Chains A and B, each alone.
Chain A
């Protein structure tokens, strides 16, 4: 009989060991288990986090609740699946980050990272844990933000050197998120799901807020450059935009005169939306008054989608208005001339 590390499976239920455990020790779908699965999803969708539960006491329940949650969330849209995956990834990355305090923590963590395709090497343990990560594993999973940009890391011999444990866990978070997102929805025909699962999904659906996505009709989209239009469309489609894209979008909209509360409403469509964090971040941007980056930088962030002929996204608006003002003036002049001519004839 195989000895499973239940503690590890409970913390990281997406690992192959946890999957093997569940496939051998199939759970009985019972009302308490459904309730745990529902809690996991509801908390993920409403608060953006997975409820904390004592791993040592409830190891089996935790593994099973994840398996049940996956069946339930498979009944929902991609937006909800992505939001759920983000919450699961955040939970696991926070456990990874604190795991080094435990005796077998490092060994378990490296096992989990390896399963995700991240073969980190610990190069020092004191005063802090420092690790080297193979550069192409880093590139695949590093968050797309300035702090993680490859050029600003120490790269040599095929490794990104001297990463803090926090950074390693943040990279793992992206890998976990991608793994969960890609594995859902489960490839099971709807008719094959137990009735209890379908019922549980309906119950959750009733508890989700029925907010209409904000359609930005107040701000005519033709005033925005193509890169901003694309980001707004992606946001509206519940795409999980990288940090740089969100920062650029919010900075641009602020400079374009959109009110902070309107920007916050736009970000409600983000799959990892958290009202408090969004408000804090927008307030921070208002205080910082960042300049809108030039098109060269936008291109390097991978956010440029068309050659619109401007050097800064804000100029696109100015150019548009410039042309519009000119067109309006020409029309006005032509109307006046016509009126005068008509007046003369009369």
Chain B
């Protein structure tokens, strides 16, 4: 048996132990979900599987201990049906997949406070600035779980969203990401030329969005008067005139400071706010209802961490390096580490390592093994 084969077998055994200790696993309406499983090499190797009950799924996981477990966002009449139309789509949840961007602080695939903190802020923004105030979801309808590796999954399970088709979901994603914003829609009397005559100009002066307005009009106004965003504003308002401009926008008057090509300028401002949102969301997960998503509270084969579900109130403080650990500190394992940066696990710092043999507690060892940064030592 090679070192790699021994390592894979070791990790699989530990995964099986984890599922044995779980009393119940699986998503809601389990009988209507399609499941997919991944191997050491591939996140989804087989799909189109189904389980009538959570007990059946648990039995499968204990027996097979797959390295990745995903299930459909959609509900199907016949989840094992192939090709896809034979499954008979009955509806789908609304799921947002937020993943950390590549970070200059470390090599690809690892996380640090900076990149993970940024993803967390985006998840909070998604929930607190869009899903709750704009779409009116209550905290009972939204659940959040750690993705198991470098981000979060925010899920909405509600009859209101179940029947949304691909087009509607794309419109929703564009709304959240700020794509397709026509700022002139928030200036009433937009059909009249701004330069037509003095009367029309006066009419328009008090008709722009105010920071207290709902939706994107208010969002753009709030962005424009926030001193933190001053670098994104046109030169005319960046210096002394910012207080005057701010005072005007608060009243809905965007003309207190004369700005050249203002339609384009404010339109671009919308794009800036939007792109910032859009970068963080893997849009296809939300739009394409045939996608599979990591099963909440299952193990992630690239980290050995649990895709942990937790209350919304804990999002701000959630740290996978202590809150998503599945394995103990009491057992230790000796590894041949190829290369690993400095990392935290259960509030203890490890590494950096390069071509060295080390004895580590199981939680840290599993992380390195799943990251493919180490192999079991003899």
Contact = CB atoms under 8 A, between A and B. Distances in A.
Interface in A31-68: none
Interface stretch (B27-35, B157-165, B254-262, B346-354): B157-165
A157 B133 contact: yes
B170 A151 contact: no
A151 B179 contact: yes
Interface in B204-236: 213-217
B174 A300 contact: yes
Interface stretch (A142-150, A196-204, A249-257): A142-150
Nearest to B94: A136
Interface residues of B, number: 30
A302 B166 contact: yes
A151 B163 contact: no
A134 B158 CA distance: 14
Nearest to B176: A151
Contact of A144 (B164, B167, B178, B213): B167
Contacts of A161: 214-215
B133 A156 contact: yes
Contact of A155 (B165, B179, B180, B214): B214
Interface in A133-184: 134-136, 139-140, 142, 144, 146, 149-159, 161
A159 B172 contact: no
Interface residues of A, number: 24
A155 B129 CA distance: 12
Given A152-B181, A152-B185, A158-B135, A302 B215 contact: no
Given A139-B171, A149-B174, A154 B163 contact: no
Contacts of B170: 300, 302
B39 interface: no
B102 interface: no
Chief secondary structure at chain A's binding surface: mixed
A149 B168 contact: no
Contact of A151 (B133, B136, B161, B174): B174
Contacts of B164: 136, 139-140
Contacts of B174: 149-151, 300
A153 to B, nearest CB: 7
B217 A154 contact: yes
A153 B217 CA distance: 9
A41 to B, nearest CB: 28
Contacts of B18: none
Given A139-B168, A140-B168, A144-B167, A154 B213 contact: yes
Contacts of A300: 170, 174, 179-180
10 contacts: A136-B168, A140-B168, A151-B178, A152-B180, A155-B135, A155-B175, A155-B216, A157-B214, A158-B134, A161-B214
Interface of B: 133-137, 160-161, 163-168, 170-172, 174-175, 178-182, 185-186, 213-217
